[in-house]
Structure 1
Amino acid sequence: MTGGPHAEGCDVVVVGEYYWDLIFTGLPEVPRLGADLFARGFGMLPGASFTTAMALHRLGLRTVWAADFGTDLFSRLALEAAQAEGLDDRLFRRLDHPLERVSASFSFAHDRGFVSYAVRDDLPPAPEVLDAVAPRALLLQSFRLEPELLALARAARQRGILVCLDCQHVAHRIDTPGVAELFREVDVFLPNESEAIGFTGEATAEAALERLATMVPTVLVKRGAAGAIGLSRGRRCSVAAPAVAVVDTTGAGDSFNAGFLYGRLRGCDFRDSVALAVACGTLATTGHGGSTLPDEDGLLAMVRHEAAASS
């Protein structure tokens, strides 16, 4: 993989780890101690930031994924999947020791849970790589209060690059030292409903959205089957999720991020970008993990169908 004909620049840099996902669906109940459960469905594929990078790539955006890989089985499988997908590997770091990342997901139609293991988190790339790959947008999939992440976000803002930040169930809160400093370098914040409520301490997603929007210009709160709500520079929107037969919700939020960036970078207005995000996340739930991510035609067809149905 060499990045293809657009090696001189790209649309999006995605920063974040992969996890090798073992996804169990059709369980009779939520796993508990003492219970021996058998799933009716199973999927095994790379997830987390791999899902977002793959979704962006399938939507036709020139995407560079920054991630670390080791000598272990899961790293090798993830690298093989990235190569098969044709992902740009310029910011892959191949380490000479194992770097296992594996996650078992117990997934239901309304939500999912994980049991995960990771040797360590990836360090984000140095700010200088932004000059080498020249992205229009930087998507930080991991929300960590570390100087390397702050330096990368700050360098992107200084270069006029759109900076987006996911949440990923962080342990800190909105008033944790360092959060306000990081948020000053962020253009778009993308938590899900439980993350937004837990992070802010507010009672509802709407109240969390209002509070977060005082710190970040654009905030979207993912609400699963309820769609999403957003607030961008005083403009509010709410988008319902299309009705589909849900197989697995693993990776839906990662796919949502890709759909929003697709809309934003294609020049869509705020509401249309949120609608694209919701549609992309919804389509991801129709299979295990990222196995049913849409291409550009598939995503636009769903959005057009929903618009016609609501008119």
Structure 2
Amino acid sequence: MTVVRPGPPPGTPPEPDLRDPCAERGPAGDILHSSGEAPSRDLDVFLSGRVFMDMIFTGLPGLPPPGTELVTDGLGSAPGGVANLAVAMSRLGLRVGLAGAFGDDMFGAYLWRALSEQEGVDLRWSREIPGWPTPVTVSLAHDCDRSMVTYARPVPLGDADLVADPPAAATCFVDVDRPVPDWALQLRRSGARVFADAAWDPTETWSADVLDRLRHVDVFLPNAVEAMAYTRTSTPEDALRALADRVPVVVVKQGARGAIAIDSSTGEEAHAEALPVEALDPTGAGDVFAAAFVFGTLAGWSLEDRLGFANLCAGLSVRHHSGSLGAPCWGEIAAFGESGEVPSEVLERYAFIVPYIPETEAGRGPHGVIRAQPTLR
């Protein structure tokens, strides 16, 4: 017998469920900020960039050939683009500010509400743009990979229009596929650390301009393909050492092979294995990795522990379909340790995380976690 949940009276317009899926983000942030390691600023992280409406189709046997139609039983919708980073950081308890352009259409209204009401991202520096359509990306996830189609019109505002005077923040995050914005340089002069990653170069020219921009960066987190391409090296290890001559902290992400890193300021070198989980959807995993690495940096953890935590969070995110809404909350991090999914000797590697888990989440077990679901489905 099919059970139908009671709904609102006929004629009532639908409302998205914007309840906070990570109530423990507040206590986790309090633990971080009371530890004495995190700088006392208005924000932990400040971001600026384009927000997309992500539509993620899952359960596909492959891509549809021309003239055909595939029917699937999986669809997740979530904020994308720079919102992947913002959501992942906020869910860990970081205070996140975002300057972005939002369309004045239905998608723009949903994205604004989802980020501010559901995910606790501070949008005081963001603006709604009349007549500008919200960018949309359709992701077709299949065979542990994805293909994407994007619709995006040029943003009528530049960084200088959105961020004339950046807020006080302990860190900020930029892409070095374009010049580092003035607001990030201003924050760095005031003592903030600049984190950066690199986007895929569709021209595959891998311009040396990207390497020149690294002089404005404190932590660089490319993946192995990008790192080797920009440095003209043949192994991730060689790429790591070439980049370490340019940036104080370099992390090269290697997917299922984990990550390697060098912190030139301390002399630390580290390698961390990936979490041994079955990957269903890699959408946003790199952003989750970066968010966790920022958290570990503000917590004052060693390079090895920062890598381990970043791999843990990224590994938890790929077990689910839904892009940014697959970013883990502390409840899921705690539950994973109580689930018996990995051997105890693997869990011992993450013992340093325990003091940062809110007491309300410890001991609840894997069945006590409510997964954050895509708001539109």
The normalised TM-score by structure 1 is: 0.85
Residue of structure 2 in register with 1:267 after alignment: 300
Q: After superposing the two structures, state which structure 1 stretch, 115-124 or 156-165, moved more.
A: 115-124
Tell me how far apart the structure 2 counterparts of residues 110 and 206 of structure 1 sit (CA, whole Å): 25
Residue of structure 2 in register with 1:183 after alignment: 214
Q: Within 5 A, what are the aligned runs for 1:156-305?
A: 156-171=187-202, 176=207, 178-233=209-264, 234-287=267-320, 288-299=322-333, 302=336
Distance 1:196 1:300, change over 3 A: farther
Q: What is the count of residue pairs matched by the alignment? A: 303
Tell me how far apart the structure 1 counterparts of residues 199 and 258 of structure 2 sit (CA, whole Å): 18
Residue of structure 2 in register with 1:124 after alignment: 159
1:62 paired with 2:95, answer yes
For residue 14 of structure 1, report the CA deviation from its aligned partner.
1.9
Tell me how far apart the structure 2 counterparts of residues 224 and 39 of structure 1 sit (CA, whole Å): 27
Q: Secondary structure at the match of 1:243?
A: coil
For residue 86 of structure 1, report the CA deviation from its aligned partner.
2.4
Q: Secondary structure at the match of 1:291?
A: helix
Tell me how far apart the structure 1 counterparts of residues 223 and 42 of structure 2 sit (CA, whole Å): 31
* Contact kept? 1:209, 1:219, Cα under 8 Å: yes
Tell me how far apart the structure 1 counterparts of residues 250 and 68 of structure 2 sit (CA, whole Å): 40
Tell me how far apart the structure 1 counterparts of residues 220 and 343 of structure 2 sit (CA, whole Å): 26
1:18 paired with 2:51, answer yes
Q: Secondary structure at the match of 1:262?
A: helix
Tell me how far apart the structure 2 counterparts of residues 81 and 273 of structure 1 sit (CA, whole Å): 29
Distance 1:180 1:290, change over 3 A: closer
TM-superposition CA deviations, 1:82-125 (whole Å, max 9, x none) = 13222211111221221321111122454323221211256335
Structure index of larger Rg: 2
Tell me how far apart the structure 2 counterparts of residues 307 and 271 of structure 1 sit (CA, whole Å): 20
Q: Secondary structure at the match of 1:43?
A: strand
Amino acid at match of 1:18: V
**Identity level (%):** 33
* Contact kept? 2:99, 2:163, Cα under 8 Å: no
Tell me how far apart the structure 1 counterparts of residues 58 and 101 of structure 2 sit (CA, whole Å): 29
Amino acid at match of 1:13: F
Give ranges in structure 2 of 5+ residues lacking alignment: 1-25, 27-32, 34-40, 349-377
Distance 1:248 1:175, change over 3 A: closer
Tell me how far apart the structure 2 counterparts of residues 157 and 78 of structure 1 sit (CA, whole Å): 29
Amino acid at match of 2:159: P
Residue of structure 2 in register with 1:100 after alignment: 134
For residue 41 of structure 1, report the CA deviation from its aligned partner.
2.1
* Contact kept? 2:51, 2:135, Cα under 8 Å: yes
Q: After superposing the two structures, state which structure 1 stretch, 152-161 or 28-37, moved more.
A: 28-37
Tell me how far apart the structure 2 counterparts of residues 40 and 211 of structure 1 sit (CA, whole Å): 45
Q: After superposing the two structures, state which structure 1 stretch, 282-291 or 104-113, moved more.
A: 104-113
Q: Secondary structure at the match of 1:69?
A: strand
Q: Secondary structure at the match of 1:209?
A: helix
Residue of structure 2 in register with 1:309 after alignment: 345
Distance 1:266 1:298, change over 3 A: farther
* Contact kept? 1:137, 1:163, Cα under 8 Å: yes
Match among 55, 62, 68 for residue 29 of structure 1: 62
For residue 174 of structure 1, report the CA deviation from its aligned partner.
9.0
TM-superposition CA deviations, 1:29-69 (whole Å, max 9, x none) = 24554554333422111122212111111111111112111
TM-superposition CA deviations, 1:184-240 (whole Å, max 9, x none) = 110111112222233333222222222222211111122222222212214221111
* Contact kept? 1:263, 1:276, Cα under 8 Å: yes
Tell me how far apart the structure 1 counterparts of residues 253 and 68 of structure 2 sit (CA, whole Å): 32
* Contact kept? 1:174, 1:200, Cα under 8 Å: no
Residue of structure 1 in register with 2:148 after alignment: 114
The normalised TM-score by structure 2 is: 0.72
Give ranges in structure 1 of 5+ residues lacking alignment: none
Distance 1:164 1:31, change over 3 A: farther
For residue 183 of structure 1, report the CA deviation from its aligned partner.
0.9
Distance 1:271 1:166, change over 3 A: same
* Contact kept? 1:275, 1:303, Cα under 8 Å: no
Tell me how far apart the structure 1 counterparts of residues 204 and 190 of structure 2 sit (CA, whole Å): 28
* Contact kept? 1:102, 1:118, Cα under 8 Å: yes
For residue 308 of structure 1, report the CA deviation from its aligned partner.
4.2
Tell me how far apart the structure 2 counterparts of residues 291 and 278 of structure 1 sit (CA, whole Å): 17
Distance 1:303 1:67, change over 3 A: farther
